[in-house]
A and B are shown apart, each in its own frame.
Chain A
Amino acid sequence: AQKITQTQPGMFVQEKEAVTLDCTYDTSDQSYGLFWYKQPSSGEMIFLIYQGSYDEQNATEGRYSLNFQKARKSANLVISASQLGDSAMYFCAMRGVNRDDKIIFGKGTRLHILP
């Protein structure tokens, strides 16, 4: 069965520092997609970044990058130069390629950026 593990329930980081949010996954699929979403206190889910299992390069989107280590089954999110507005809940998610594959989410990491 597919599984996503986020081991950091909460993190406190000083503004302007870089932060790494951990995500490990378990799947027997060869092809899958990995996603990160941000959920601020207002509640909406905001897509941040995507990494395909066959992508050779790590995905980047502005201040967000994904440190993808396929052999270790990890897909950590790196936020560079953190800002106060980055304070939110962050979810790692994965989806396989089969028809019945659903996107599954980790339990999330609550990130607090300190001024």
Chain B
Amino acid sequence: DSGVTQTPKHLITATGQRVTLRCSPRSGDLSVYWYQQSLDQGLQFLIQYYNGEERAKGNILERFSAQQFPDLHSELNLSSLELGDSALYFCASSPNYLSTDTQYFGPGTRLTVL
């Protein structure tokens, strides 16, 4: 158990819908990262927050948005969902934002868009 929690574990929805994925980092970690893992694209970095502020952005679509709250939990919002958004979404956390920081991953949310 990494100490990072993600809810829900599974999510099945329809095209055009909007969903929210939730992540709670390990105790004491200030950085939260979101990743998308799909069969064709592999593991792709989406976005990073550090202590409530966006710190780095990756291959995140405009239909997707995220935020980190004062209690450091984070939410990833996916809207206007398409079939291609079906993937495993991971949240990871680390103490700070240094390159030496190990990122600990949550169990993931498996999103299926029908």
Which residues of A are at the interface with B, using a C-beta cutoff of 8 A?
31-33, 35, 37, 43-47, 50, 52, 91, 95-97, 99-105, 107-108
Q: Complex Cα distance A95/B103, Å?
A: 11
Residues in B85-110 with C-beta less than 8 Å from chain A: 88, 90, 92, 97-108, 110
Query: Given that A99-B55, A107-B42 are known contacts, is A43 also in contact with B99, CB under 8 Å in the complex?
Result: no
Other 12 A-B pairs with CB < 8 A, given A47-B104, A97-B99: A43-B107, A43-B108, A44-B105, A44-B107, A44-B108, A45-B108, A46-B105, A47-B103, A96-B99, A101-B99, A102-B48, A107-B42
| Contact in complex: B99, A95 (CB < 8 Å) | yes
Q: Could you give 21 example pairs across A and B, Cβ below 8 Å?
A: A33-B99, A33-B101, A43-B88, A43-B107, A43-B108, A44-B107, A45-B92, A45-B105, A45-B108, A47-B2, A47-B104, A47-B105, A97-B98, A97-B99, A99-B56, A100-B56, A101-B99, A103-B45, A105-B43, A107-B42, A108-B42
